[in-house]
């Protein structure tokens, strides 16, 4: 910690601060003390540096080679309370992380390792940035070892085992942990996240859609039988694995809908909205792929029960104390570039032609608020840190 003190305060406290020779003082250091004359001290302040003993959070990352994993690393290497001690990758074991991701050169001096249960068990917290189905194989052992876990995949997001298995096409390896997992949307479950051992980090689309609909659903202001979520995502949402569909020649100068018959994020979105409403929710959810690298825009439609409600005031009140939700001025149209690289969700609410349909537009960075940034936000809550610690970045423009 650094304190700036006035010269007079320093003079009065000199005997107390320096009872022993300066070179032997264990708690405080004074910069350039021997060069300060009384006149110089009257003209300027003196900086006293205090050594602060802070316990670092030992963090492990399982699956560090995907876009979510490297985004998590980008945020954690500048987090003052975190020490990343292990990053696993079977395919890149032994390779320095900064060789694969040059943006981390000078910030991280670790190599990828094979998954080592003993090393992971020595961590305070383990992030899983893996494909679906991996975390559920390892989480029980880590929890038994006293390690907290944040899963950025979908293994623990849906509390209904049968529903999860239907949408993800595999048997759940530890269904007994589904009830324990806390859904990590801080704007809804902040207090539960603080006490959690296992956090299911929300998906990107569910974050953008959920934050947009929640103020209306919580207050019972819209008809719930037919909500519409029309969403668009950059290609990084498809992951870093090689795929013909993700090639620039396939995605550039093109725009398409996909998964119209049903997307895995639909039951997750419905779960959030049903918990908020206390009843069933009808949702049409259609995602689109757009030719950009990162970002999600969600345009949401619902029918109002009462057109006299001040929608702008409603949204501003709901998110007034939320550090990462920005309700924009009336008439705004949020842009994905305004959240590039940051953990923010920007929201605008409209009632076209003063009718009974409400239209909400939300934007997030799918890799940050939609993944790694929200995971760091959850970590901060779990360990009693400032919620925005390590997440103070400003979006990149242009």
The residues assigned a catalytic role are 204
Q: Exposure string (b/e) for 256-266, b if CB count within 10 Å is 16 or more?
A: eeeeeeebbbb
Is there a cis peptide before residue 398, judged by omega within 30 degrees of 0?
yes
Count other Cβ atoms within 10 Å, centred on residue 220: 13
Contact criterion met (CB below 8 Å) for 354 and 309: no
Q: Which of 204, 198, 221, 136 is nearest to 171 (CA)?
A: 136
Specify the pairing of strand 82-88 against strand 182-183: unpaired
Tokens of 69: 């994993």
- Looking at the chain, how many residues does it have? 398
Residues 6+ apart with CB under 8 A from 267: 158, 163, 164, 167
Helix 311-318 × helix 204-218 angle, to 10° = 120
């Amino acid at each position: 910690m650094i304190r700036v003190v006035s010269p007079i305060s320093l003079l009065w406290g000199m005997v107390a601060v320096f009872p022993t020779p300066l070179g032997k003082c264990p708690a405080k250091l004074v910069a350039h003390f021997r060069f300060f004359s009384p006149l110089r001290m009257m003209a300027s302040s003196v900086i006293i540096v205090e050594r602060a003993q802070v316990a670092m959070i030992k963090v492990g990352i399982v699956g560090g080679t995907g876009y979510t994993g490297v985004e998590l690393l980008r945020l954690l290497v500048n987090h003052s309370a975190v020490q990343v001690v292990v990053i696993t990758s079977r395919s890149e074991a032994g390779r320095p992380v900064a060789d694969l991701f040059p943006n981390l050169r000078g910030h991280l001096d670790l190599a990828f390792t094979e998954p080592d249960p003993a090393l992971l068990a020595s961590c305070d917290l383990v992030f899983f940035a893996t494909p679906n189905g991996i975390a559920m194989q390892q989480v029980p052992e880590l929890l038994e070892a006293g390690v907290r876990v944040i899963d950025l995949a979908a293994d623990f997001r849906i509390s209904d085992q049968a529903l999860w298995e239907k949408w993800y096409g595999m048997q759940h390896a530890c269904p007994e942990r589904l009830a324990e997992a806390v859904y990590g949307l801080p704007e809804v479950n902040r207090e539960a996240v603080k006490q959690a051992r296992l956090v299911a980090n929300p998906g990107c689309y569910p974050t953008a859609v959920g934050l947009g609909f929640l103020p209306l659903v919580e207050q019972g202001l819209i008809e719930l039988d037919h909500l519409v979520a029309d969403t668009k995502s950059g290609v990084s949402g498809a992951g870093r694995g090689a795929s013909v569909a993700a090639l620039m020649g396939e995605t550039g100068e093109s725009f398409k809908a996909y998964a119209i018959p049903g997307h895995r994020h639909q039951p997750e979105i419905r779960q959030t909205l049903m918990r908020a409403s206390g009843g069933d929710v009808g949702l049409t959810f259609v995602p689109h792929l757009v030719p950009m690298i990162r970002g999600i825009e969600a345009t949401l439609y619902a029918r109002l029960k009462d057109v006299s409600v001040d929608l702008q005031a409603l949204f501003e009140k709901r998110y007034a104390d939320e550090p990462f939700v920005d309700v924009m001025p009336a008439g705004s149209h949020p842009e994905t570039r305004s959240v590039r690289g940051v953990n923010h969700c920007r929201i605008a609410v409209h009632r076209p032609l003063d009718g009974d349909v409400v239209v909400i537009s939300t934007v997030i960075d799918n890799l940050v608020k939609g993944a790694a940034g929200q995971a760091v936000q959850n970590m901060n809550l779990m360990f009693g840190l400032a919620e925005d610690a390590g997440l103070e970045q400003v979006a990149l423009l242009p």
